[in-house]
Structures are given as structure tokens and as C-alpha cells.
Amino acid sequence: MISDGARLPASAPCKGPAVEVQMSRIEPSDRARSEADEKAFFARYYAEQRYHPVGWRLRMQRDLRVLREAAGARGLGNVLSIGCGDGAFELLMAEHAASVLAVDLSPEAIAVAQRARDASGASGAANLEFRCVSFRDLPRHQNFDTIVCLAFLHHVPAAELPGFLLACHDQLAPAGLFFSQDPNVNGVLRAIGRLVLGRGYDKYHSPDERELDPSELASQLRDAGLRDVALRHVDLTLIPACYVIRRGPGLPLRLLASLDRAWCATPLAPWSSGFAAWGRRAG
């Protein structure tokens, strides 16, 4: 388990006695294999910078806009970000939050994130803490106004996902927001990518990740006790292009971001490459 250590300010505790939700357990050997695979994949991922930096930032800015729209007038408050990766999103988000606690399994990711925070000089950086810890070992005694899982739920084994969502619900403050963004199992470009790249498609993905079904995830969020569950398709080409076009000018990525906005505003949106989902704990 992670040590409590220095703590960012916690939001108001939930009314009534705290209830700790236990996630479905997996065999220790399965956990060890899964976490070792994830660590190895992301060690290579960050060492090689497997994405276009301009496209990556465009993606982060877009996802922050969607998150802030989902939060509405309540704002973000004290945030827990699970699966923070290189921390680029958290650096942007910290400027709009009271505090951000960001966690990730990958030591390489946390090292990159801490260097970026220390070098940024961003006004929100003082409110931002990074910790290297598995989602399975998160302390459950803090409550947060917002829990963010950006491109993370599809890394959680299917058998553990319902329990994980229940645990997130339990860790939200009253009326707190849960927000996620993940790849869409119905994505048309994903199907094309598999056909064109064959086994080469897998080099862009860690061994245990999978695309998610938006309607199925919405049902799981409701089953976890979240209310006002909503879905929004957000991506068609930008995220895939970040990995395919890893170098060069940023203009093509900007054009693709504009194309995505247009696509996701049409009836073709359900065949997007990525979608956001969110819901709130009862107030």
C-alpha cells in the first residue's frame, strides 16, 4: 500500500459513515503479469515518445474542454486523476482545479510528469502532486470533487471494472463528478487499422488493453450508483494520427482536430475512435 505521505487538501467528507468498496480481486500471478506488461510497454512508450507532441497537446486541450463542460458551474474542485501518464493533461487541468492528485503505475511516466511539472512554472503546478501507485492500491479514505480516468478504463481488466467504478463512486464527494475518456469498440478507423496493419496494430497498444462499448460503460456507471450519466463522442482521427504521424509539422494534426469536431457533430458520431463518459454521485 502507498504511504499517506504529504497530502493535498481533501474535499468535505461524505455524509454518514464511510463505506469501503472492495474491488474484485484477481490472482496475484495474474496481477503481477498484467502490471509487469503495462510497465514494460509504457517504459518503451515514454522512452521513444510514441506520439506527435503537437497532436498530443491538441488532444489534451480538447479533453480538458470536454471535462470542464461536464463539470459546469460546480468546477473541478479537488481532483483525483487515475492513470495520469506523462502528466500533460494534469498540468493543464491544475490551472482550473483546487488541487490535483495524479497517480500512475509506470515509474517512467511519473518521472516524465514530475520533470514536466518542475520545468513548467505553471501557476497550477503548486496544486499538483504525482504518485507512482497501482489503481488497486489507492487509499480509500479521501474524497474528491472530481475523479478523472483519461484513457484509463480500457486498461482495467473487464472483471475488475465494475468494482473499480463502485470504488470511484464511493470516493466521490456528494455531487462529485466521475469523468472518463476511452477508445470506442465501434470505431471505424480502428477496424480499418486492424485490417491494414495486421499484427502491427498491436505495437500501439499494451497487451491487456481493449476498446470499450459506450452503451455498456454507461450502464456500468449507472450500476455503480452514478446519476446523470452522459456520453460524448470526441475523436475520429486525432488520437490515431498522433501515433502514426509522430514527427513533422503540426498543421496536419490541427486539420484533423477540426475534422473530428465536424464528424462528432453528425449522426456518424457513434463510429468515432474515442468517447467521453461521465456521471455524478448523488448530492
Lowest-confidence segment of 41-55, 78-92, 127-141, 227-241 by average pLDDT? 41-55
Q: What is the pLDDT of residue 194?
A: 67
In terms of pLDDT, which residue wins out, 43 or 111? 111
8: pLDDT strictly greater than 60: no
| pLDDT tens digit sequence for 203-261 | 656 667 899 999 999 999 999 999 999 999 999 999 888 888 888 999 999 999 999 99
Average of per-residue pLDDT across 142-150: 96
Mean pLDDT of all residues in the chain? 84
Q: Specify if 170 maps to a domain.
A: yes
Q: Specify if 6 maps to a domain.
A: no
Lowest-confidence segment of 31-40, 60-69, 194-203 by average pLDDT? 194-203
**Number of domain units in the chain:** 1
Q: What is the pLDDT of residue 12?
A: 35
Q: What is the pLDDT of residue 45?
A: 67
Q: What is the pLDDT of residue 244?
A: 82
Residue 20 binned pLDDT confidence (cut-offs 50, 70, 90): very low
CA distances 115 to 59, 81, 106, 112, 166, Å, are 21, 18, 14, 5, 33
Q: Specify if 26 maps to a domain.
A: no
Q: How many helices (H) and strands (E) does the chain have?
A: 9, 7
C-alpha cell belonging to residue 22: 472492495
Q: Specify if 157 maps to a domain.
A: yes
Which residues form the domain of 171?
50-280
Q: Where are the alpha helices (DSSP H) in 49-127?
A: 53-71, 88-94, 107-120
Q: Specify if 3 maps to a domain.
A: no
List, in order, residues 6 or more apart from 237 with CB less than 8 Å away. 189, 256, 259, 260, 273
180/188 Cα distance (integer angstroms): 21
Q: Specify if 77 maps to a domain.
A: yes
For the chain, report the end-to-end CA distance as a whole number of angstroms: 30
pTM: 0.84
Residue 138 C-alpha from the chain's centroid: 16
Residue 202 binned pLDDT confidence (cut-offs 50, 70, 90): low
Q: Specify if 252 maps to a domain.
A: yes
DSSP string across 215-274: HHHHHHHHHTT-EEEEEEEEESSHHHHHHHS-SS-SHHHHHHHHHHHHHTTSTTGGG-SE
Q: Specify if 82 maps to a domain.
A: yes
Residue 142 binned pLDDT confidence (cut-offs 50, 70, 90): confident
| pLDDT tens digit sequence for 148-179 | 999 999 999 999 999 999 999 999 999 999 99
Residue tagged 497550477 (cell numbers): 124
Q: What percent of the chain has pLDDT over 90?
A: 58
Q: Residue 147: in which H helix or E strand, if any?
A: strand 144-150
- For residue 252, the domain's CATH number is 3.40.50.150
| pLDDT tens digit sequence for 102-131 | 999 989 889 989 998 988 875 557 899 999
Q: What is the pLDDT of residue 19?
A: 35
